[in-house]
Amino acid sequence: MSEKKTEGPTLQQRYRCEFDHLFGSTSCEREESVEIDSLVLYERHALQAKLEGQIECWRAMLAHIELWSREATRRDRTQIAQLLEVERLKVEAATERVSRELELARRRKPISNSRYS
């Protein structure tokens, strides 16, 4: 009876981006990779994940600002409501900025790296 040998991952498989693997895409080009929370991601995907996380944080902050703003208005605390309005504008501007950065990151073509070719 012959035993089945299990082979380890090839060099190409070892450097494959987890993002590409998870979504079944073959759009990844070989480029510099980074390891984040035990996942191997190409730098481009790591940047996209970071920016998406920032957007979600800004949106959560915006939700809290809106909640406290309504409460300040209900309690007739106009100065606090005005301060919260200023903060809301800052958060909306930051969200727009990060959204633009994310769009640019998604459009960027990956740079092939000869190390993986």
pLDDT digits (tens, 9 = 90+) for 30-87: 556 666 666 667 777 788 888 999 999 999 999 999 999 999 999 999 999 999 999 9
pTM of structure: 0.64
Tell me the C-alpha distance between 79 and 44, whole Å.
43
Residue spans per domain, the chain? 11-108
Q: In this predicted structure, what is the pLDDT of residue 44?
A: 79
